[in-house]
Structures are given as C-alpha cells and as structure tokens.
Structure 1
Amino acid sequence: MGQDNCKPEPGDLIEIDRPLYQHWALYVGYGYVIHVTDEEASSVLLSSSSIRATRAKVKKQLLKDVVKNHKWRVNNKYDQFRTPFPVEEIIRRAELCIDREVPYDVLTSNCEHFVTMLRYGDGVSDQARKAAAGSALAAVGSIILAGAALVGMALSESTSRR
C-alpha cells in the first residue's frame, strides 16, 4: 500500500521506491497505472528498467503489480511550479501511448520524464538532474586527481634528477 495510505486519483504521479532509483507511473484509475518499462522493448541490453535500454515499452498495468513489495506514494511535486492538464486530457494522452515503444535514456528520457510530460506537457526529472550533476562533479574530481598525479610525477622526476 502507499506509504501515506492515501488513495491515488486519476492523473496523479506515483513514485515507487526501488533499489538505487525511483520508478514513476501515472495513475489512471480503477487500480491501473501507465508507465514505461524495458520489458518487451526491442533494444534492451539488460532487463528490469536497465540504464542500458534505448527504447522502452509503455504499459498499462495494475499498480499493485508494478509496485510489488516496494513502497510508493502519490507525488505531484511539480504542481507547485507547473500547471497540470485537466485530468481527462492527462488520461487521454497516456492511453494514446499504451503498447508503443518510446525512446529511453536514463538522463534525458526516463520514466519520470515520461509521466511529467503526460501530466504537464514538459518532461522533467529531478533524479536525472541530480545524477547528471553527480556525474559532472565526479568527472571534475577525476580531472583534478589526474592533474595532481601528473604534477606529483613531474615534481618527483625533477627532484630525482638533482
């Protein structure tokens, strides 16, 4: 059951806690969600919402089957910055995507981007933004360490030549 024991309403964004990431789905009513998954997609190197997938399949499934034993919650966190479409429009847009393959990239076109595009018309993902920032920071750190190692090697060589 949901972490807050709240009942989702059609058009709500559902955030599911998974190991290492959050999976996102759109609640469409009667216990069903629409979400992207790499299951049955044509160009997947690894399964189970892989970061290697380049295509994802849009599926309509029961929320309980998508959630399994993970915690979940309604999280319309972007409502404070964006205006959602009317519920009927959100559901119509989502249902047009069922059984289609869509591009997938963990940083630019993931499950959170997909559901926020349906709800607001703009695909956004805080977890992708944070991951990209972390990757950039790690890259800068690697460059600094490599530079320090080169300087250390140069100093070591110059002192050994004396």
Structure 2
Amino acid sequence: MPLISGPPPKPGDLIEFIRPFYQHWGIYVGDGYVVHLTDQEGWSSFSSAFGGTAVVRKDRLENVANGCSYRVNNKYDQKMIPYPPEEVIKAALDLVGQTMNYSVTSANCEHFATELRYGRCISEQVVQAATYAAVGGAALASLIAVFSILRSKRQNQ
C-alpha cells in the first residue's frame, strides 16, 4: 500500500512519487486519478531514460505509486503563480493518449507536470543530478591527484 505524506491531493496539484534513485511526477486530476508522462506500461518514465518517446496517461493514483510513497509537492507556488486548477486539469486531460518526445534532461515527467501547473518546464532533479555528477567528478579527480602524488613520492624515495 503506497504511503502519502502530507495533505491529500486536490485537483491540479503536482504529485511527487518517491522512487529509488529518482522521483516521478504527475498532475492530480481528481477522483483518485493522476495524469503523467510515462512509458507504455504506465509505471514510470525511468525506462525511457535515454530518450525517445513517452505517452501521456491517466491512471489511478495508487497504480502510479505502485507501492512507493507519494506526496503533494507544489514546490514552486511561492515563486510562481500556478494556473487555476480547472485549467491545469483540462490541459492535462487534453493530452491523455498523446505520444510525446522524452528526454531525461529536457522533457521528462517533472518538466511535463510543471509546465501544466506553471506554464514553465522545470526539473530540479536534473539540476541536482548534474550537481552531484560535478561534485562526484571533482571528488574523483581529487582522489586521483592525491594517489598520483603519493605514488610519485614513493617512487622517488
């Protein structure tokens, strides 16, 4: 049974599904349903991580959660004015069944959901992943430099 943290969703809310290694996003459209950009099976967009296409689906919230926890996360409401819920819902439902281009860096499920709610494609998880990669790369380069220096010192002794 999926776990919801925080308040129950209201129509037009961004829903964040907590997956291992990433988050999946959708728009709550009411009556227990969410519209989301996903693979053909409807579980997540992760299987399309290398690009290609994905489909817009309307699925039961608990089916999208698939045992994972989820929450309402209208995280940009303090920075941007969301569209009225009825506009978000209509726009989301109008896209159901359409196949769309998918890119983990520029057209993923979070971009899809934030564009519907705010009119802007935003994905913080892409920014966070790039930051982690940069920090990890810098740390790896530092370790290599330290080992090279230590090896050099040993060889000179």
Q: Tell me how far apart the structure 2 counterparts of residues 145 and 17 of structure 1 sit (CA, whole Å).
A: 32
Tell me, yes or no, if the aligned pair for 1:12 and 1:75 is still in contact at 8 Å. Answer: yes
| Correspondence for 2:4 among 2, 19, 24 | 2
Q: Tell me how far apart the structure 1 counterparts of residues 135 and 75 of structure 2 sit (CA, whole Å).
A: 26
Moved more, 143-152 or 68-77: 143-152
Q: Tell me how far apart the structure 2 counterparts of residues 78 and 141 of structure 1 sit (CA, whole Å).
A: 31
Q: Which runs of 5+ in 1 are unaligned?
A: 42-46
Moved more, 132-141 or 51-60: 51-60
> Does 2:125 align with 1:123?
no
Letter in 2 for 1:60: K
Q: Tell me how far apart the structure 2 counterparts of residues 48 and 78 of structure 1 sit (CA, whole Å).
A: 22
1:16 corresponding residue in structure 2? 17
Q: How far apart are 1:105 and its partner, in Å?
A: 2.5
Q: Secondary structure at the match of 2:54?
A: strand
Q: How far apart are 1:148 and its partner, in Å?
A: 4.1
> Does 2:65 align with 1:64?
no
Work out which structure has the larger RCO, using CA pairs closer than 8 Å and 6 or more positions apart in sequence.
2
Tell me, yes or no, if the aligned pair for 1:38 and 1:53 is still in contact at 8 Å. Answer: no
Q: Secondary structure at the match of 1:77?
A: coil
Q: Tell me how far apart the structure 2 counterparts of residues 73 and 33 of structure 1 sit (CA, whole Å).
A: 12
Q: Tell me how far apart the structure 2 counterparts of residues 22 and 131 of structure 1 sit (CA, whole Å).
A: 12
Q: Which runs of 5+ in 2 are unaligned?
A: none
Q: How far apart are 1:65 and its partner, in Å?
A: 1.2
TM (norm. structure 2) is 0.82
RMSD: 2.4
Moved more, 70-79 or 32-41: 32-41
Letter in 2 for 1:55: T
Alignment of 1:43-122 (within 5 A): 49-50=46-47, 51-122=49-120
Q: Tell me how far apart the structure 2 counterparts of residues 92 and 124 of structure 1 sit (CA, whole Å).
A: 20
Letter in 2 for 1:49: F
Q: How far apart are 1:109 and its partner, in Å?
A: 2.3
Q: How far apart are 1:40 and its partner, in Å?
A: 5.5
Cα distance change on mapping 1:112 and 1:12 into 2, 3 Å:
same
Tell me, yes or no, if the aligned pair for 1:107 and 1:132 is still in contact at 8 Å. Answer: no
Cα distance change on mapping 1:142 and 1:93 into 2, 3 Å:
same
| Count of residues in Structure 1 that have an aligned counterpart in Structure 2 | 153
Tell me, yes or no, if the aligned pair for 2:37 and 2:45 is still in contact at 8 Å. Answer: no
